[in-house]
């Protein structure tokens, strides 16, 4: 899951690396438009739609990974 997440984030955010500290504060390309693209790409890859509460947590590597892991357990 982490490898796929890293791959998606690198592609959408057009960056060569993604680490555990990744967030809009550490990645210049991570703006509101790319945030929407990232949410869409994650929904496409993992075959579900995020609810509003989850979308609010998709603002960092840690937040995204936490939501994905919670969804995997459900």
CATH topology of domain 2-73: 1.10.1200
For the stretch 28-72, pLDDT in tens is: 999 999 999 999 999 999 999 999 999 999 999 999 999 999 998
User: How is 9-60 classified by DSSP, letter by letter?
Assistant: HHHHHT-S---TT-STTT-TT--HHHHHHHHHHHHHHHT----HHHHHH-SS
Look up the pTM and report it: 0.92
Taking phi over 0 as left and psi of -120 to 50 as alpha, with beta for the rest, 30 belongs to beta
Query: Domain coordinates of the chain in residue numbers?
Result: 2-73
């Amino acid at each position: 899951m982490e490898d796929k997440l890293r791959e998606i984030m690198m592609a959408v955010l057009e960056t060569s690396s993604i680490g555990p500290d990744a967030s809009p504060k550490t990645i210049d390309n991570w703006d509101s438009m790319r945030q929407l693209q990232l949410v869409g790409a994650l929904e496409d890859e993992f075959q579900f739609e995020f609810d509003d509460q989850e979308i609010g947590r998709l603002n960092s590597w840690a937040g995204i990974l936490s939501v994905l892991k919670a969804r995997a357990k459900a």
